[in-house]
Amino acid sequence: MHAHDHAQPRHASQRPPVSLVILSILLLAGLGILGRLVVPQVQAQVDPSQETVEARVIEVVEAGLLDQGGVQQPYQKLRLEILTGQRAGRAVTVDYGTQSFGSRVVLYRPDDHVQVMHVARADGDLFLITEPNRWGPLLTLLLIFVVVTLIVSRWKGVRSLLGLGVGLFVITQFILPLILAGYPPMLVSILGAFALLSITQYLIYGWSVKTHAAVLGILISLIITGVLATLFVDATRLSGYGSEEVGFLQVSGVPIDPRGLLLAGILIGALGVLDDVTISQASSVFELSVANPAFGVRELYRRAMNIGQDHIASTVNTLVLAYVGASLPMLLLFAIYPQPFGQIINREFVTEEVVRTLVGSLGLVTAVPITTILAGLLTGRKWTT
């Protein structure tokens, strides 16, 4: 038995050293600076006669129902005070639900805050309510999330929130600017994703052999996912225009490869679960090695894979159901307008989601045995005992 078999205590995940924190900050700063240097000055053309402003509901002047082809459509006539923009301080009367579809759950009361589109026209200003102001509930939800995370996870909760911030920073300050600058979206996403998950893994779980195994597993799994995505996006001849947002990007004049963007989206979509799968498997291996120092790599792999197989089932279900949940309106449309299954599955926007789900799931499934064997080898044990 190796002398360092007992070197992995149950609390192998320790607080990251100051040097690691400093290195992470420097790496993040470098990624952010690189993103700033390469991002092109691209901005979609905006109609100068239009602006979106914030307003407050002073009073509900009138409310009722309109008959729109047999459908009872709620409407309101509202008196608003404009709070921002060129017309700040002005009071206006706006019809809501007469020129667009209103909603029974989005009816307004005095003192509600709303987003209003102001259109300057030769025959007078036009004001249209576009959205309710949702900042209050969103901030409340965010505060509840942070508080519950800190109460339940304590110090690890702090580090997980820092990891979440790191992820958002890398995506917005590195991945998106380089894609906008015309660099290959797949390569940028693999590099950004690896940097993101490496930093967050070490910040959350500390500098340990267990974390090294998880990071190596992440790198190999990202490469496999990228290769599979490239092969099957090409095999299914997806153009990348399955989402209407891509069309908006093309109209805005941004020189983006839509297929590359699809590939990058598949990769980034699997990141959150990939993080969980790799560290869970590495933890399982090292906990088993501490529990029984007689286990060799082969036995550690076999027993950890028994745990991993259960994790695979729940994780794949989570990923698939997340995509299905996001596609419920589309599924309802197919239920209302039935078509042969072959025609439905062959539509690009449906095929895109199928490829996204299956490739992401394959990446996660392969991450389990890869991370398990890497963790087993990094314990320093012999193959068999």
The ranges assigned to domains in the chain are 18-39+154-378, 50-119
pLDDT in tens, 106-143: 788 899 999 998 888 777 788 888 888 898 899 999 99
Nearest to residue 267, comparing CAs of 318, 295, 233?
233
* H/E run at residue 126: strand 126-132
With 70 as the cut, is the pLDDT of residue 101 above it?
Answer: no
Contacts of 286 (CB under 8 A, 6+ apart): 8, 12, 209, 210, 375, 379
What is the structure's pLDDT at 141? 95
Mean pLDDT of 52-65: 89
Mean pLDDT of the chain: 80
- Distance between CA atoms of residues 203 and 363, nearest Å: 24
| Burial of 76 per CB tally in 10 Å (0-12, 13-18, 19+) | buried
What CATH number is given for 18-39+154-378 in this structure? Answer: 1.20.1640
User: Which CATH architecture describes the domain 50-119?
Assistant: Beta Barrel (2.40)
What is the structure's pLDDT at 256? 74
294 pLDDT band, cuts 50/70/90, is confident
Helices and strands in the chain, H and E counts: 13, 5
Label residue 110 left, alpha or beta by phi (over 0 means left) and psi (-120 to 50 means alpha): beta
pLDDT in tens, 345-378: 788 888 888 888 888 888 888 999 999 999 888 8
What is the structure's pLDDT at 371? 92
